[in-house]
Amino acid sequence: MSGKLRLAEGEMARTACARAVLRVGVDEATGEVLSQAVLVQRVGWCADLVAGMVAALIGEHWNRVDVEVLAAGVDAGGRRLPSNAWMALRRLGWTVTAPQGVRVNDRVVRMAQEQAGRVLRSAAWRAEVTAGVLSTWPADPRKRTPAEWEQVRASIPGGQHLPSNIIKGRTRQVAAFGKANGRLPVDVFELEGVPRIPRMLLLAACDRQQATIERSDTDPARALLRLQLPTRPEPRGYRDWTWVECPTRLPSTVPASAVLHLPTLRVTDGTVRADMAYTHVVPKARAAGHTVAVGVDWGLNTLLSAGALRLQADGRITAFGAGGQFRAAGVLAKQHRLRRLSERLHAKADQYARLLGGRPDEQLKVKHEALTGEIRHVSDRRSNLNDALAWAAARWTVDQAIATRASVIYLEDLRSMEAKGMGHSLNTRLSQQVRGKISDRMRHLAAEHGIAVVAVPARNTSKHCPQCLTPLQHRKAPDRPTTPGWKWASCPNTGCGWQGDRDHGAWRRIAARGLTHQAKTVTDKTNGAMVIRSVVDELEASAVVTPTTTGSRWDRSKTGPTRHKPPRPAPRRRRAPSPTRPKSPAGQRPEGHAPTDRPRLPRAAHRHQGVNTISTPTTTGHRPRGAALGAGFHLHAHASPPRWETIPETHSDSGSLS
């Protein structure tokens, strides 16, 4: 570290990570400037040495007994194991050496032990889940009975709150193994085998004898990383290791007052990428004591629906306004097209692999390699698209909380949502949503402002009325009677009469449930996220939103015949000529009609893309250009602006935004 943090009351230290790129280096021994290609080569040599030792260490201890010993957290003498993985492995006597004839220092061995220890520790949880699934193997692996679900959850430590999709995924994996081998696996180590070892350098396990990092005194946006790298693939002595200086520019997300830590280096696509870890001061988020909260509801085409509620001093809960929506129908349509393309490419690649069958065929081999590269390219596009969508949705949600000065975001917990009964295409779309990424990035951005993100149970959030908890009736929207759908919800209770978009009712229910259950907020020990585990009936009864007005803003009841309106007259012409247009771009519009043509969309928006499974919003004023056709990310995603404290609560306060 390059300094220490001083915390005041109401503050906490937060460790985050940002990605940088090492583009150049300087060899301190010779003064030679290393180009990016040479730097990649030398970092790759060191990463290959570490990966070889990691593979040997994991292969030796990849079994149930050793993993259980490491997961127990105590050594043979009953002493508690250190938190650092490399120190824990040395306490247990699990050592590793470099290949014969290769000389490395002790810090390189530390990096190998740290990486291997992290992999072995992560296998302990998967071993417990797999053991629980195997010990309670159901009669029909495709569908468990309620009694079988209780048995499998009881056999897994912490299985009561474990998402069902994790158990179902392990069940499918075991069933596939049994179909291929004619028997069930013994444990997860036979089921998965030795994992693949990535090429990376965990410099956090080293000290100043192997690597240092310092921020520049003149430019806080720059830092200098010094580390020892080999000068040949197989260093024979310590003379084959030299110090290399790597100046780098820090990302703009790293504060100037943050404390830098040694990064993790990865060789990817011909570049050395550094995961820069840093610690900075942020406001402390609290689990309870909230008065203003933002509720977030998930959707399919309308990805997010959000709005704010206020908890009054007398216990009443009122809404700020109509809320807003973040739609991503175009992005999800593009993701759906890329998924189908990836499936076709995988099918072709598998067919070529079957045709090869181990026999030499240069023509088929070239085609198979080309398909493999295309599959990798499509996978990268899907990953980048998911990342862009996750950051955009998370930033929009956090901005709503900042605008309303909310101290908490209550997020619908859909980790256990099972995509079934909707058809093959819709099930796949529901299963491949980017909810996990959005939640992680939402917590990351909200922590910078001291805003808590709490997961709330999703039971009956779209089913019950937010004002009286009466089961809603879903039907077509009144302003779109010819469009089929179920997005519009109305309360059958005559004393309530609430109606609106069901997603708008859902975020009210989520925020109200979170405000009334905030004393039940706990922190999940596995990932550190705040969550409300269950719903208490007594608290749920008070989770109702009190309307700010009792009726509509004006009385529209008809008291007589409709007054006859004459046809629209001719447009009024100007009686005086328009002023001379100034030379500058600003000024009054000259006489005549303003041009009504809009800028042309990119050529990609006019090609037929064959998307007929994802609808496109058509509401006037809220239709993203190119969402159905595809013309860039900014034309795919669309967020309706919220209207805070401008529209009073009415019986029908939101239109159909499906």
* In the chain, where the domains are located: 11-41+210-283, 50-192, 292-540
Confidence (pTM): 0.79
Render pLDDT for 577-631 as a digit per residue (tens, 0 to 9). 555 555 555 555 554 454 555 556 555 555 444 433 344 444 444 454 544 444 5
Contact 395, 442 (CB under 8 A): no
Give the rounded percent of residues in the chain with a pLDDT score beyond 90.
53
- Tell me the two tokens of residue 190: 């036979």
DSSP run (H or E) holding 283: strand 271-283
Identify the H or E element spanning 225: strand 222-230
Residue 228 main-chain phi, psi, to 5 deg? -90, 130
For range 357-383, the mean pLDDT: 88
pLDDT in tens, 392-423: 999 999 999 999 999 999 998 876 555 555 55
pLDDT for 425: 58
**Contacts for 177-185: CB closer than 8 Å, 24+ residues apart:** 184/134, 184/137, 185/130, 185/134
| Residue positions counted in the chain | 658
DSSP β-ladder status, 408-413 and 292-298: parallel
- Give backbone dihedrals phi and psi of 297, rounded to 5 degrees, phi first: -115, 135
| Cα 307 from chain centroid (whole Å) | 20
Rounded Cα distance between 507 and 295, Å, is 5
With a CB cutoff of 8 Å and minimum separation 6, the contacts of 88 are 70, 81, 82, 117
CA distances from 372 to 57, 342, 366, 395 (A): 31, 11, 10, 35
Q: What digits encode the pLDDT tens for the residues 297-342?
A: 988 768 899 999 999 999 999 998 888 899 888 888 888 888 889 9
Residue 43's DSSP bridge partners are: none
Query: Given pLDDT bands bounded at 50, 70 and 90, which one contains residue 643?
Result: low
